Structure 1
């Protein structure tokens, strides 16, 4: 039975049937808040990038044409503070971490966005929005010259986060000096344009190195929330279909962005919402330590025993230190670990999770290797493109050629596709989608074992095996898992060469009847987590244990 995609909309707090905006038809427009590029990426950033990547991939798998935009906040108080502290030009800081972002996203197999707008490239559009908001009385110039959005002027303020205006203090999130509260009309008002003259410490310590742009209100820089309103409208228009980001962005960032967008572009929107679906992923936290017990509630979740990642606490899990080429793990292990939980479920990270994810990856790759060997007795292996070319010789359910012992595998292929889609249609349930892939792997391994035992593999069997491998790879790719095993650019190639050398030495030892040496090589590799499989014809292969 066909299922319909349903997504959890943060604003309505319900799971809704997904239907793109009418004028878009099968086109979907997605905007995702990218990083503030003042430091390296950590595990939480990886989840914030992988979540919308999977959403995009599944929509494309389902036949939608997706335009995907993610931005860089390359001017911000955090960047300025680091620039002053370290004497490092703020532009160089941003450029350094934008480059790192692209490298790490490529490693994680995150598809490139259709556009990567930078805040500094759209200052003129931001100034224009502020001017419109001032004319429409949704903004005001404070007595210190800074420009603020008047939250009391927008009736729907708080609808996204569920917060009431009178409950808000400032929504600072560490980005606006608390001393400025005195110049606001309402404590929840947020800055649209910040004058340089109001930061004497910045000017004293950095002088002209502080980022600044001319404006009708004086030299300064935009407020954080203003950036995404300008860039999303510029690259997607309003309204658009999906806005993604981490749960930490619901308030104040997305609440404030929503307010200023819907006020500035009121005529285009005809008073309607600027975004149809707001989708937010949960945090990645770390297990608390004894010394964390006295932390405040905004850092420590006593119920789950988890602590927010923070540089000041020394518990940040830097992505570059975890994955190839600098770290020990295949980047796909990080993706596998994150996909093993629903995107709205918090993850309390422990290092063992990456070992478990690595083992799950190995199970997939080992099964694919075995299916490829059964499909190609000559030992020929698939590369990253050739497996897609095999779709012309795949099985069709009900084909009389498969009314054999292979029929359970044929059925499993179609069941995997059906359950995968049902899981993903249920608010992108990647954990359920992975389970469907592993169910197919189990059936494929069982069928391979039967064929090996009987020593017979017909043309129909090989087509079934080819179909199973193709389906596993297609579903893996839809989740962004690399469908072909890769080696670390830093040391994976050397590792494989050493394994091949040991395998050759073992083969020579067996030929010379030096079985003690051959067994010693086998046992030594087993101790390192590898197993040798001896194949018919005297050939052997070595692979990671499951």
Structure 2
């Protein structure tokens, strides 16, 4: 399996620290508002990566933090006359809810920054003792960037180039303009915790490094996040870990591309800023997943409602394909031994499975993997159209199972066959009223209604045919004509 490592700018073979096990950390949100669809794209991408690693047999331990103390949270709290803790609690829960709606698996470990202060203080103390950090006169503690020979390795930036144009903030006690805060002295009205340097709170970069080390150990196998985090956040995380514990924070650094809206950068000023919640309030989560997974996770993603509308149709076609394959198999005439057409579909299934795996093994290429799935769906539909009731049941079922299985790996779960509650008994009364059915069996009523409608259509008695159809529709059902025959099913949605 090849994985692109941001640090080396190349695809590398994934080699876990411990064979068969993957320790994975993805930076979570700063919880001061609803997350936007760009954030959703990042979390979805790493959800699929995690799902595929599990599918390949790895034992994955996945951790994702919640940054519940930060300037943005404090500012929001001040604007609304609330405490920072109240704001963080509200939007932590909102984030968890939206991830659940999007179908993103919950992390195995979800540390919250405010509950991990002890680990952060311990790391800062270690950095000071080893000469990589210093206490400023005002109670702040800074990391000495130039004390870390590997600084710049993750982002590929040269420390001397970073120095150009850098300046020390007014009244700052930094020794170097590149140094960054590990601990910030308390300000009036802000949340704070005790430390050897006085009351204060941790710096953003400090939080993730300490939590990764505490819960997963270092080096971990994969550290992920959006490409906007490469510098300075991930660079600073890596520098702290290497300086404190003398080993890399992560062996592989992975980053998802940015999301654009209708070809433009998403921003509130352009009026094209969308939260994940408002998108999921209008569209099924699996349609959102299909749209986002059609673009490779490292490439920029162009989001539009027009494209999302198209994915709703694509999702419905996939669901119909699976449903039609299963129905055709259940209603196949005779034993259905494989003929040449069935053998061709069986070969297409084998090819799809192989292409899916080779695509995902190549740096999680979901675009190519989805293309293989769509191709199989098309071939399966062609097979059904050509064979009608003469399908090979085993091949039809295998095609349906393959579509469900591979889409499930990508987290597209609505194509799973739902548990059939059965058709309503009201069909018996309808059949008795419209076509003189005298039995008491729902299946018999269905057959009578289908036969009566077919006869009416054959005789061009459109009024009678429409009356039967409307009676069925009034029960929340629909008549569907397929190459394999006519059936009565529950309406979607």
**CA–CA distance in 2 between the matches of 1:443 and 1:231?**
48
State the superposition RMSD in angstroms: 3.2
CA contact (8 A) 2:286 2:414 kept: no
Unaligned runs of 5+ in 2: 419-423, 435-448, 471-476
By how many angstroms is 1:310 displaced?
3.1
**CA–CA distance in 2 between the matches of 1:332 and 1:443?**
22
1:164 lines up with 2:158 in the alignment: yes
Look up the match of 1:445. 381
Q: Residues 517 and 10 of structure 1: is their aligned pair in 2 closer, same or farther, counting only changes over 3 Å?
A: farther
Determine which of 176, 180, 185 is the counterpart of 2:175.
185
1:331 lines up with 2:288 in the alignment: no
Give me the TM-score of the superposition, normalised by structure 2.
Answer: 0.85
> What does the per-residue CA deviation read over 1:66-86, in whole Å, with 9 as the maximum and x for residues that have no partner?
111111001111000101111
Please say which of residues 161-170 and 335-344 is displaced more in the overlay.
161-170
Please say which of residues 443-452 and 468-477 is displaced more in the overlay.
443-452
**CA–CA distance in 2 between the matches of 1:73 and 1:194?**
15
CA contact (8 A) 1:522 1:531 kept: yes
Q: Residues 143 and 314 of structure 1: is their aligned pair in 2 closer, same or farther, counting only changes over 3 Å?
A: farther
Determine which of 331, 352, 361 is the counterpart of 1:416.
352
**Which one has a bigger Cα radius of gyration?**
2
Look up the match of 1:369. 323
By how many angstroms is 1:90 displaced?
1.2
Determine which of 233, 257, 264 is the counterpart of 1:306.
264
Q: Residues 261 and 538 of structure 1: is their aligned pair in 2 closer, same or farther, counting only changes over 3 Å?
A: closer
By how many angstroms is 1:516 displaced?
5.4
CA contact (8 A) 1:181 1:187 kept: no
Look up the match of 1:277. 252
Look up the match of 2:94. 100
CA contact (8 A) 1:138 1:154 kept: yes
> What does the per-residue CA deviation read over 1:106-126, in whole Å, with 9 as the maximum and x for residues that have no partner?
111111111111001100000
Look up the match of 1:128. 122
By how many angstroms is 1:275 displaced?
0.8
1:109 lines up with 2:103 in the alignment: yes
1:237-256 superposed matches below 5 A? 237-256=217-236
**CA–CA distance in 2 between the matches of 1:367 and 1:539?**
15
1:142 lines up with 2:117 in the alignment: no
**CA–CA distance in 2 between the matches of 1:50 and 1:227?**
23
**Secondary structure of 1:155's partner?**
coil
CA contact (8 A) 2:209 2:249 kept: no
1:515 lines up with 2:469 in the alignment: no
Look up the match of 1:217. 197
Give aligned pairs, total: 454
Look up the match of 1:320. 277
**CA–CA distance in 1 between the matches of 2:282 and 2:465?**
29
**Secondary structure of 1:449's partner?**
helix
Q: Residues 405 and 193 of structure 1: is their aligned pair in 2 closer, same or farther, counting only changes over 3 Å?
A: same
**CA–CA distance in 1 between the matches of 2:274 and 2:324?**
35
Look up the match of 1:477. 408
CA contact (8 A) 2:237 2:249 kept: no
1:353-432 superposed matches below 5 A? 353-377=307-331, 402=338, 404-432=340-368
By how many angstroms is 1:274 displaced?
2.2
**Secondary structure of 1:168's partner?**
helix
**CA–CA distance in 1 between the matches of 2:71 and 2:5?**
30
By how many angstroms is 1:41 displaced?
1.4
**CA–CA distance in 2 between the matches of 1:423 and 1:537?**
37
Q: Residues 401 and 485 of structure 1: is their aligned pair in 2 closer, same or farther, counting only changes over 3 Å?
A: closer
CA contact (8 A) 1:372 1:469 kept: yes
By how many angstroms is 1:443 displaced?
1.4
**CA–CA distance in 1 between the matches of 2:226 and 2:148?**
24
Give me the TM-score of the superposition, normalised by structure 1.
Answer: 0.77
By how many angstroms is 1:61 displaced?
1.0
> What does the per-residue CA deviation read over 1:448-497, in whole Å, with 9 as the maximum and x for residues that have no partner?
11221xx324xxx111111111111110011111143699xxxxxxxxx9
Q: Residues 182 and 168 of structure 1: is their aligned pair in 2 closer, same or farther, counting only changes over 3 Å?
A: farther
By how many angstroms is 1:179 displaced?
3.8
**Secondary structure of 2:142's partner?**
strand
**Secondary structure of 1:148's partner?**
strand
Determine which of 2, 5, 8 is the counterpart of 1:12.
8
**Secondary structure of 1:405's partner?**
helix
Q: Residues 241 and 462 of structure 1: is their aligned pair in 2 closer, same or farther, counting only changes over 3 Å?
A: same
**CA–CA distance in 1 between the matches of 2:244 and 2:405?**
43
By how many angstroms is 1:361 displaced?
1.0
**Secondary structure of 2:323's partner?**
helix
Q: Residues 522 and 170 of structure 1: is their aligned pair in 2 closer, same or farther, counting only changes over 3 Å?
A: farther
Look up the match of 1:397. none
Look up the match of 1:534. 481
By how many angstroms is 1:20 displaced?
1.0
> What does the per-residue CA deviation read over 1:508-540, in whole Å, with 9 as the maximum and x for residues that have no partner?
9959887259669999xxxxxx99632577634
**Secondary structure of 1:28's partner?**
strand
Look up the match of 1:194. 184
By how many angstroms is 1:38 displaced?
0.6
Look up the match of 2:443. none
By how many angstroms is 1:312 displaced?
4.9
CA contact (8 A) 1:126 1:227 kept: yes
Determine which of 253, 257, 261 is the counterpart of 1:286.
261
